[in-house]
Chains A and B, each alone.
Chain A
Amino acid sequence: MLNTYTFPEFDYIRSADQDAAQPVKHPVVVIGAGPMGLAAAIDLAIHDIPVVVLDDNNTVSVGSRAVCYAKRFLDISDRLGVGQRCVDKGVTWNVGKVFFENEQIYSFNMLPEEHHRRPGFINLQQYYLEEYYVDRVNELEKADLRWKNKVTGIEQNDDEVTLTVETPDGEYTLKADYVIACDGAGSKTRAACGLESKGQIFHDRFLIADVVMDPKKFPPERWFWFNPPFHEGQSTLLHRQADNVWRIDFDLGWDADPEEEKKPENIIPRVKAFLGEDVEFELEWASVYTFTCRRMDDFRHGRIFFAGDAAHQVSPFGARGANSGIEDIDNLTWKLQMVMNGKAGDNLLNTYSEERTFAADENILNSTRSTDFITPKNGANRAFRDAVLWLAKDYTFARPLVNSGRLSVPPFLTESSLNTEDDGSFDCKVVVGAPCTDGPVKRNGEDSFLLGALGNVFNGMLFVDSRNDLTAEMVDQLGELAAQDVPVKSYIVASHDMDIALPEGVELLIDTVGVVKERLDAKGGTFYLMRPDQLVTARMRSFDKAAVVAAQNKALGK
């Protein structure tokens, strides 16, 4: 039991499938109602694809686990209709402080770029996040969330997947066209398929303690200690979450006894040594963990897809677990939708693994580097690490070398086979394979943000400087793109309102402060094509309908 949170208990409800004479077949079955499984359910249901989610438990994540949610996570959550609740409850933070032994070495402000709907990061306990996602799933008619439904067997042939499910009322059989396994690091689905997640195990143990404190004592900042004076381990992290709960993460070393360390009588003295004897706190939750950096070779296994921790795991430094998991779902669901609706071939589904293993490798690389910096593996490494920290205090050159976790940013899928090469040269951070940037826009006379106008379908953006840039032919062609079998819904992006008649599926978007144009290095005539997951897939200096169609076909794996 937590003092600040009451875990919901969701009802087991007997499904009509359990009484069917023949096993019922569903388009998609998701295994696991953690953040990824819930996100998958929402994403499929809002695309009108019926989905069943099976979870062996009947509540949300016990213990806080994931804490930091990055901007991209929030942007995707916005598309799924959950973003605002997360941001309202979460703690937004920008300042990080780095300490080495007794001293503060430096502090940094992440100074998020202005004019984005969402901040760089929020901190929120995983149970809140899951609760909000569950509420959203329950709003959707196409999503069927079944608690206390444990998958005990899974088999597939060329046509379907067959699942054996255990419930309080006994066993039943389900069939599915596709299965998404979101059953976590210890994925039983992965084991049942005879597959492995391979990589590096780190010989280190960490104690996480969530404590409730007076918010006046510590600001909403990320404090990271190397070689802390109050603790014999190599590092300590302090981070604020919602409800005045602070996450403290102590490195214990490999020889620590996890059972002993988990006992409150052993945790409390550690926390006191850290916070000071006079700081009052209540211990909310604690756990000892180890970690691995590993992934599966292929995230697709026939009709079964693996996502989140089931597919790949990283060390916690950099918050790349949940943040990369939701990008998996974002990547997979539109592809499934296209294939299931006959708009793309089965090969499009292979690109899920192609793109997300590429992303996983970048995340694993970053989190492994952080881990190696935080816990040096030999004397020379330690000498360099300590030298970097001491130098960082007086010399700014060393600060970029300090690595207490490279905070999650979405890997740019620059090598994807779905990308079309730039037509013309572009000089901006956004590249083909990267998520589109954000910026304030006016749409139908209302102030909103660009990313709120993108996603779920292919989108185009045609930038114009003046009304004269736009010929009647171009407008007609944008209309034709919107009327295709797989529509491209386009925006004409301008700095000011224009009196112009637009066909169905084409809208005017006012770039109110000009940052959209600037961030995409757009000029009059520039056209950007985005996939349903908001990733830029092609761009050109002058709009050419045939080139847009070709790029869309390429993005569909044709």
Chain B
Amino acid sequence: MSKLITEPNLPRPDDFYQELTDLHRDLSDEQSLDVNARLILLLCNHIGDQDVLSEAMQTARKHIPAQ
């Protein structure tokens, strides 16, 4: 079973982060929601590993108390 990588894995972190924020710079909230949805879907397909995706999804909302 593959594990979600949570150690640094991006070779050029500042370049990546700038590109991610630039992507949304001129977008409305609605457009950002749309772009993010597409981005997530593209990345999930690229990863293609349900175990890693499940772990990432759980990690992403770990800070929100269970309802």
**Which B residues lie within 8 Å of A386 (CB)?**
34, 37
Among candidates A379, A380, A388, residue contacting B41 with C-beta atoms closer than 8 Å = A388
In the complex, the answer to whether A387 meets B34 with C-beta atoms within 8 Å is: yes
Main secondary structure of the interface of A (DSSP, over half): helix
The answer, yes or no, to whether A12 is at the interface (CB within 8 Å) is no
Nearest opposing residue in chain B for A401, CB measure: B41
What is the CB-to-nearest-CB distance from A227 to chain B, in angstroms, rounded to a whole number? 14
Q: A390 to B34: give the CA distance in the assembly, Å.
A: 10
The tally of residues in A whose CB lies under 8 Å from a CB in B reads 13
What is the CB-to-nearest-CB distance from B50 to chain A, in angstroms, rounded to a whole number? 14
> Taking each of B34, B38, B40, which has the highest tally of chain A beta carbons within 10 Å of its own beta carbon?
B38
In the complex, the answer to whether B41 meets A383 with C-beta atoms within 8 Å is: no
Main secondary structure of the interface of B (DSSP, over half): helix
Q: A380 to B38: give the CA distance in the assembly, Å.
A: 12
The answer, yes or no, to whether B6 is at the interface (CB within 8 Å) is no
Q: A192 to B34: give the CA distance in the assembly, Å.
A: 51
In the complex, the answer to whether B37 meets A383 with C-beta atoms within 8 Å is: yes
Q: A395 to B44: give the CA distance in the assembly, Å.
A: 14
Chain B proximity mask over A369-407: 1 for CB below 8 Å, otherwise 0: 000000000011001101110110001011001000000
Q: A398 to B42: give the CA distance in the assembly, Å.
A: 8
In the complex, the answer to whether B41 meets A391 with C-beta atoms within 8 Å is: yes
Among B34-67, those with CB < 8 Å from A are: 34, 36-38, 40-42, 45
Nearest opposing residue in chain B for A398, CB measure: B41
Among B1-48, those with CB < 8 Å from A are: 33-34, 36-38, 40-42, 45
**Which B residues lie within 8 Å of A380 (CB)?**
33, 37
In the complex, the answer to whether B45 meets A387 with C-beta atoms within 8 Å is: no
In the complex, the answer to whether A391 meets B34 with C-beta atoms within 8 Å is: no
- Chain B contacts to A: CB under 8 angstroms: 33-34, 36-38, 40-42, 45
Nearest 10 pairs of A and B residues by beta carbon: A387-B37, A383-B37, A387-B38, A397-B45, A383-B33, A384-B37, A387-B41, A383-B34, A391-B38, A391-B41
> Beyond the given A384-B40, A401-B41, could you list 16 further A-B residue pairs with CB under 8 A, ordered by the A residue number?
A380-B37, A383-B33, A383-B36, A383-B37, A387-B34, A387-B37, A387-B41, A388-B41, A390-B38, A391-B38, A391-B41, A391-B42, A397-B42, A397-B45, A398-B41, A398-B45
